[in-house]
Chain A
Amino acid sequence: MAFSDLREFIAALDKSGELVRIKREVDWDMELGAISRRNFEQSGPALLFEKIKDYPSGYSILNGPVATWRRVAIALGLPPDTSVRQLYAAYEERRDKKIKPVLVNSAVCQENVMTGSQVDVYKLPAPMVHDGDGGRYIATWDIIITKDPDTGWTNWGMYRFMTHTQNLLTGWPQATSQLAMMMKSKYLPRKQPMPIAIVSGCESLCHMVATDPYKPGENEVEYAGGLRGAPVELVQCKTQDLMVPAHAEIVIEGELLPDRIALEGPFGEYPGYRSGTMGEGVLVQITGITHRNNPTLTLSTLGVPPDDSSIAASLTAGIAMKRGLKRRGVPVREVYVPPEGVTHLIVVSVERGGSQVARQVLDYFTARRVMVSKAIVVDKDLDAFDMNQVIHAFATKCHPGRGITLEHYEGRANALTPCYNADERRRLKGASVVFDATWPDDWDPEGIPVKSSFETTYPEAVKNKVLAEWANYGLGGKR
């Protein structure tokens, strides 16, 4: 059963003990971010800040809607204790389903409307998330909606935006993002502004779809419907030719300008650092703001994992990568994106290993814009979701000379990768490496070392006896 809006999802979190309502007044200027960050680092509950300094009673901020696997499970309508592997399987099973959206004429997201000279983004409680950020980031856990003027394809993505003045925002969709490609290929040549909607406070699966790297041309709102098992209701923006989720809490409508820029950043980003992306963003002229009565802004106080980005992207990127690897003929069995690796480190288990397969994996990750800098390829006999097993395989099976393959590139690296220097970040110059932790496929099977574990070392008869007698050895009920 899909949640109809963020408020239903908040109620479900509350019921399951995954939410704390903070009723004491909290300052939007860093205090709220500091509470949220510390709470993330303790894998704490979602936080609903219900009284925000300088803002009307009833305005609230929700931090961390899906920053734990338990909350992802709730968002998917599954039991909170569903395993990570099961969550991956459920998401993968639903990811291809499409349900067309339903268009509505009126919507709760337009209960309040500001247009023209009334536009004032400071009427919304945009937080100063971290000390040292370039501004107040009103869009961190959002859906950014843009439309191809020729094909009508509507793109949903998730990018950061901060307040600049009362009617201007600056933002930093990466220069290699789908939004950037659309702006550069369709609007800049015509010197036209690009209509944009910055949406906050949808039910969580819509936001997760915005993090999912669907290919250009794919209709993300239909996938959101498929994932929810119910159509997304859309309503026409008040000032732009764009359709937005009718159940959203807040919608900022505007135009991304083709000929003017302003200061953006820096910001403490999803890799866990504020690494110097600043002054290379975009400028949005706000043409309208609509919101529900007593709106709730969704926030993810990004930083070191876990947070919404590292958890949600583990799932959405992991499944997308598995599909992509399969399309390229890699004998992939499972892909796991450990949240601690913030999508820079990927684990790929394969049906058969060897250097050729490892090379194929590296080719896939470096073919276009590159968000991954390290991939570990492991054999199918281990659990790719168990990092203890993965680290053991990496430490013991990856040859320090032959087992590592490196690829350099320029113009498509991830500018947020902290180990790149300033020049590399500006030139989008980087490198990716694959660690082949599989047994070489040209080795004689007789020469392959035998793993010394209970499961792999003993005959079935011995194992069965040991398991049957385990308690009788005085080892309690542990099996």
Chain B
Amino acid sequence: MKKEYVTFVRRMRDLNEGKEVLFIKDLAPGPRKYDTKLVRAELSRQPNKLPDGDVLWIRSETGRLQPEPWAIKVLEELPPHVPGQPWQDLFVAMRQLK
């Protein structure tokens, strides 16, 4: 059974296939649903190209859901935060992690 996650992006064009660092929220039902992880992961927009991957749903900065999910294979779990100052643009700060 594949796991399902959701991530949020400013713009769809910001999300690239291949290795990425991103925040994902666990969609497994139960009281811990939506728990957030920062991960280094392999991404593919075509699930058949990442057969051992899980399901990654993608939402925009206004919360709109992309109709088709991508595939994600988590390679490494990182501490669930990034260096940066309050109110700083998180996505700019995350570029340093790549």
Contact = CB atoms under 8 A, between A and B. Distances in A.
Interface of A: 29, 54-55, 122-123, 128, 130-136, 163-166, 168, 175, 180, 183-184, 188, 256-266, 268, 274-276, 278-283, 422, 426
Top 10 A-B residue pairs of the complex, sorted by shortest distance between their CB atoms: A132-B63, A279-B90, A261-B84, A282-B86, A260-B81, A54-B31, A263-B23, A262-B81, A278-B61, A276-B61
A276 B59 CA distance: 11
Given A122-B31, A135-B36, A165-B35, A275 B62 contact: yes
Given A165-B80, A281-B87, A282-B87, A261 B63 contact: no
B62 A276 contact: yes
B12 interface: no
Contacts of A274: 62-63
Contact of B87 (A168, A180, A265): A180
Given A134-B8, A184-B86, 16 more contacts: A54-B30, A122-B35, A136-B34, A163-B35, A175-B87, A256-B86, A257-B86, A262-B23, A262-B36, A262-B38, A264-B90, A274-B62, A275-B62, A279-B89, A280-B90, A422-B61
16 contacts: A29-B33, A128-B33, A130-B63, A132-B59, A163-B35, A166-B32, A257-B81, A258-B86, A260-B84, A261-B85, A261-B86, A261-B90, A263-B8, A263-B90, A280-B87, A422-B61
Contacts of A29: 33
A318 to B, nearest CB: 29
Nearest to B35: A165
B35 to A, nearest CB: 6
Interface string B11-51: 00000000000010100001111111110000000000000
Contacts of B86: 180, 183-184, 188, 256-258, 261, 281-283
A266 B84 contact: no
Contact of A262 (B10, B32, B80): B80
A389 to B, nearest CB: 37
A215 B80 CA distance: 36
B89 to A, nearest CB: 6
B89 A280 contact: yes
Interface of A is mostly: loop
Contacts of B84: 259-261
Interface residues of B, number: 32
Interface in B51-68: 59, 61-65
A280 B90 CA distance: 6
B33 A261 contact: no
B83 A259 contact: yes
Interface of B is mostly: loop
A55 B31 contact: yes
Nearest to A187: B86
A134 B81 CA distance: 15
Contacts of A260: 81-84
Contacts of A279: 8, 10, 61, 89-91
A151 to B, nearest CB: 21
Contacts of A262: 23, 36, 38, 80-82, 90
B63 A133 contact: yes
A25 B60 CA distance: 31
Contacts of B63: 130-134, 266, 268, 274
A447 B30 CA distance: 71
A260 B88 CA distance: 10
A123 B31 CA distance: 8
A183 B91 CA distance: 21
A211 to B, nearest CB: 21
Contacts of B97: none
A276 B9 CA distance: 11
